[in-house]
Amino acid sequence: METLSITQILDAHLDDWRKLAQALHARFRTGDFATGLRFVTAVGAAAEEANHHPDVTLTYPYVDVRLFSHDASGITQRDLRLARRISDIAREQGIRPEPSAVAEAELALDTADVAAVGPFWAALLTGSADALDGDDVRDPGGRVPLLWFQHTDAHDTPRQRFHVDLWVAHDVAEERIAAAVAAGGRVVDDAQAPSFVVLADPEGNKACVCTCLDR
């Protein structure tokens, strides 16, 4: 099944959904647990009908939904169709989407030797060294953020090796960056914006605000 480009995803005008690191994400404000449960039940029925199953998280005031075609390793038309159906269900039930609220955190570690350090971090984070997948540590249970290894030349400590990648909706990235700067941070590098902007806190610890654009 053909995966879609960022342009194709944006041109689909899925107003309730935002593309983050890999998947389509949506947050629906249900307001209470019973409403959320009814919504999740309806989403589950739609997923069964489509034979395509999203990741769904039910909490007291929200339901978070994540769509991704694992067999294609990307976003496909199947994801777009189910996203539209889920949005229809939300409207039918009077549930409001909050697309600007979606976010996803990943960890990045600079290393010159993934083969040496990767199994350790996979075992530490997930309990199994088998969770190392190429340059990524992926937790199949979704308990910890994805850790990816950024290739670099060998170097001595104390150079910073870890940084946080924060994926946000592309239309709120500037607002989030401004908030971080107003709270004492600074922009270190915006040459790759809007794909990502590197920020630092007052002590120089870095983080990247990432979007799906220009990728």
Cis status of the peptide bond prior to 140, with omega within 30 of 0:
no
Given a cut of 90, whether residue 141 has pLDDT beyond it is no
Given a cut of 70, whether residue 158 has pLDDT beyond it is no
What is the per-residue pLDDT across 51-84, written as a single tens digit (0 to 9) for each?
Answer: 999 999 999 999 999 999 999 999 999 999 999 9
State the average pLDDT over residues 146-162: 81
What is the per-residue pLDDT across 30-57, written as a single tens digit (0 to 9) for each?
Answer: 999 999 999 999 999 999 999 999 999 9
- The rounded distance, in Å, linking the Cα atoms of 1 and 207 is 35
Q: Per-residue DSSP letters for the chain?
A: -PPPPHHHHHHT--TT-EE-SSSEEEEEE-SSHHHHHHHHHHHHHHHHHHT---EEEE-SSEEEEEE-BTTTTB--HHHHHHHHHHHHHHHHTTPEE-GGG-EEEEEEEEES-HHHHHHHHHHHHHS-GGGEETTEE--TT--S--EEEEE-----TTS--EEEEEEE-TTTHHHHHHHHHHTT-EEEE-TTTTTEEEEE-TT--EEEEE-STT-
State the average pLDDT over residues 162-169: 95
Given a cut of 70, whether residue 157 has pLDDT beyond it is no
- Strand-strand pairing, 103-111 and 147-151: parallel
pLDDT for the residue 159: 65
Which domains does the chain possess? 6-101 (3.30.1360.20), 103-210 (3.10.180.10)
173 confidence band (pLDDT: 50, 70, 90): very high
Q: Which residues, 6 or more positions from 134, have their beta carbon under 8 angstroms from its beta carbon? A: none
107: which 2 tokens? 């960890």
Q: What is the mean pLDDT of the chain?
A: 95
Which pTM was predicted?
0.92
What is the per-residue pLDDT across 97-110, written as a single tens digit (0 to 9) for each?
Answer: 999 999 999 999 99
Q: Which residues, 6 or more positions from 136, have their beta carbon under 8 angstroms from its beta carbon? A: 146, 147, 148, 149
pLDDT for the residue 153: 84
C-alpha distances in Å from residue 81, one per residue of 8, 27, 47: 13, 17, 10
